[in-house]
Chains A and B, each alone.
Chain A
């Protein structure tokens, strides 16, 4: 049987592709659908563009260099890490009023089963270790004025999903 141009096999390949995206989309929706609290993070944005996804604001965070508690000080401690995020009293003013800005309080490779721990990947970048949370890009319409946001002028509204991943919900301008 010649498998080149075989419509049955081609449909199976197409079905697998569509199924992949349906499953991935479903998983993304379900994993984010939690009632965990939403909070704010201080950001340091720049504005590049992605070839396939369009304009985005690239975000660095203060928590990208987590300090305090058991957070690593040596540059060799790379790989998976969990960072405890909590309100330590820092505030910012937005359109909706004054909001708490969360900060890193502790780090651990195997954290306790309690809320507030976010998954991070420690990598080496720009001359030092950096914690990447998977929230380093916020995509927006090419005409959205927030794409020109200056460093320190916006806050990232986030929450922690079922798998302890930080989810980026919105980019909020500070007043």
Chain B
């Protein structure tokens, strides 16, 4: 996707220069338009020098951590602590004083960001501290967040957000931390305040994230919630239907809320939704709930959350602009039908048997086929080559998987490939015919 965006900016620059050369716009206007478009990129303010500076700071910080970790046992504890405090204050003060000189400030800020964990590591070494593995990361995040938020540059805030999500994932899945939500045994319930702490860390991770587009933190939150539903927590769900319902609802919610309507791409959220539907096609081989953990049943809270997610996703599909296809309003209805169908698929699994699971797999295949076809038609209509390619890729992947997966024998698979190839050829013919008709209508 980044390569795609890079080629877009390259093409835009060439077009603007050509327009300026042809006298349609002035060179100043061309430059101004290009600057404005470039300023909208996520990392627009990160010049190459900033990246190099950030890498320099990261390497220096890691180097200091390793040197400290080698444990200079010939230096006494008080000297080590005093030297650390001096270094900490010095690095922070230097970063503040050199704030307007990015070449120095960026690496210094990076080192400053790592100073708290360096101190925690040093103190643990000096005093032989051990215990909860999550606490050091929480303390690090709590200490580093204010300075990261106050910084003029977003580096610290990005790492802080990543740190908080890392802590959330590792802490909640572990059994013996102050944030653990997964029980170490089936009968154990983790205290309620663990949930409060986990949710605070989650909110912190989203709030600290400096990007304008919230797709990534929203996706990380959605995946975390799904993991919590799957793990042995107070909100666990164990029936295939509720697992699928919550998973698909979360995928739809991420896709619907993860990007603004004016964004031209849904990116990772779209790929996740496509991946989830693709996974559903394998229910063809479903033999019942035998391989689902039957040691426990759905919790009431987990069931309620699954239904709430479904209701929220359904309302979002109805009232939010669709993000499945880039054409927006023009493809509103097919996109909304596909999104809704992907969630409703899970209803096949209530009181599941082999027949309903096969029906689910067929519908999932149809959803992918429909998405591929609509993508090709939409891309052809709007001259969006990438959308056409995506549609072809989805259709091809679905077809190839099914032929190998279901037919098995080479003869049957070979026949199926030929039929699909002919279908693709027919589709290409009609798409081209439609495009020509569109061009003719414009000429007239």
Which residues of A line the B interface, CB within 8 A? Answer: 3-7, 9-11, 13-14, 16-18, 20-22, 24-25, 28-29, 32, 50-56, 75-76, 121, 123-125, 132, 134-142, 144, 167-168
Partner of B65, one of A3, A10, A52: A52
Measured CB to CB, the closest approach of chain A to B300, in angstroms, equals 23
Q: Are A14 and B184 in contact (CB under 8 A)?
A: no
- Tell which of A52, A136, A144 touches B117, judged by Cβ atoms closer than 8 Å: A52
Across the interface, name the chain B residue whose C-beta is closest to A58: B130
Q: Is B89 an interface residue (CB 8 A)?
A: yes
Q: How far is the CA of A157 from the CA of B122 in the complex (A)?
A: 21
Least CB distance, A145 to chain B, in whole angstroms: 13
Query: In the complex the two chains form, what is the Cα distance from A136 to B130 in whole Å?
Result: 6
Identify the 8 closest CB pairs spanning chains A and B, nearest first. Answer: A52-B121, A54-B69, A5-B152, A14-B92, A137-B130, A53-B121, A168-B128, A124-B184
Instruction: Assess A141 versus B127: contact at CB under 8 Å? Given A17-B115, A17-B143, A21-B119.
Output: no
Can you report 24 A-B residue pairs in the complex whose CB atoms are below 8 A from each other? A4-B151, A5-B151, A13-B146, A14-B92, A16-B146, A17-B92, A17-B144, A20-B143, A21-B123, A22-B85, A51-B69, A52-B69, A52-B121, A52-B136, A53-B125, A54-B69, A124-B185, A134-B130, A134-B131, A135-B128, A139-B124, A141-B72, A142-B71, A167-B128
Interface contact B73-A14, CB-CB below 8 Å = no
B85 touches A18 (CB 8 A): yes
Interface centre among B65, B78, B97, B176 (most CB of A within 10 A): B176
A11, A55, A76: the one within 8 Å of B71 (CB):
A55
Cβ contact within 8 Å between B129 and A52: no
> In the assembled complex, how far is the CB of residue B208 from the closest CB belonging to chain A, in whole angstroms?
14
Provide the bound-state CA to CA distance between A76 and B187, in Å.
9
B150 at the interface (CB under 8 A from A): yes
Kindly identify, within residues 105 to 145 of chain B, every residue whose CB is under 8 Å from any CB belonging to chain A.
112, 115-131, 136, 143-144
Residues of the A chain whose Cβ atoms lie less than 8 Å from the Cβ of B97: 7
B151 pairs with A10, CB closer than 8 A: yes
A137 to B128, CA, bound (A): 6
> Which residues of A sit under 8 angstroms from B89, Cβ to Cβ?
14, 18
Q: Which residues of B contact A (CB under 8 A)?
A: 65, 68-73, 77-78, 81, 84-85, 88-89, 92-93, 95-97, 99, 112, 115-131, 136, 143-144, 146-147, 150-152, 175-176, 184-185, 187-188
Cα–Cα, bound, A138→B188 (Å): 31
Choose from A9, A75, A142 the contact partner of B70 (Cβ within 8 Å).
A142
In angstroms, Cα B86 to Cα A18, docked, is 9
Given contacts A21-B88, A134-B130, 10 further A-B pairs with CB under 8 A are: A4-B151, A18-B88, A28-B127, A29-B78, A50-B121, A54-B71, A55-B69, A56-B125, A123-B184, A139-B128
* A50-B128 in contact (CB<8A): no
Give the distance to chain B from A172, nearest Cβ to Cβ, in Å. 14
> Within 8 Å CB of B144, what residues of A?
17
A55 to B136, CA, bound (A): 17
Q: Is the CB of A53 within 8 A of B124?
A: yes
Chain B residues closer than 8 Å to A124, beta-carbon distance: 175-176, 184-185, 188
Question: Which residues from chain A contact B150 at a C-beta distance below 8 Å?
Answer: 3-6, 9-10, 13
A50 touches B96 (CB 8 A): no
In the complex, which of the residues B81, B118, B122, B125 has the most CB atoms of chain A within 10 Å of its own CB atom? B125
Contact A32 B117 (CB under 8 A): no
Q: Are A21 and B84 in contact (CB under 8 A)?
A: yes
Kindly state the separation between the CA atoms of A117 and B22 in the bound complex, as whole angstroms.
88
Q: Tell me how far the C-beta of B164 lies from the nearest C-beta in chain A, rounded to whole angstroms.
A: 17
Q: What CA separation (Å) do A3 and B187 show in the bound complex?
A: 49
* Separation of A134 and B130 alpha carbons in the complex (Å): 5
In the assembled complex, the Cα of A144 lies from the Cα of B73 at a distance in Å of 10
B129 in contact with A134 (CB, 8 Å):
yes
| Contact B147–A17 (Cβ < 8 Å) | yes
When C-beta atoms are compared, the residue in chain A nearest to B187 turns out to be A76
Q: How far is the CB of A64 from chain B (nearest CB, A)?
A: 12
Residues of A within 8 A of B136 (CB): 52
Chain A residues contacting B130 (CB-CB under 8 Å) are: 132, 134-137
Contact A50 B147 (CB under 8 A): no
Cβ contacts under 8 Å, B85 to chain A = 18, 21-22, 25
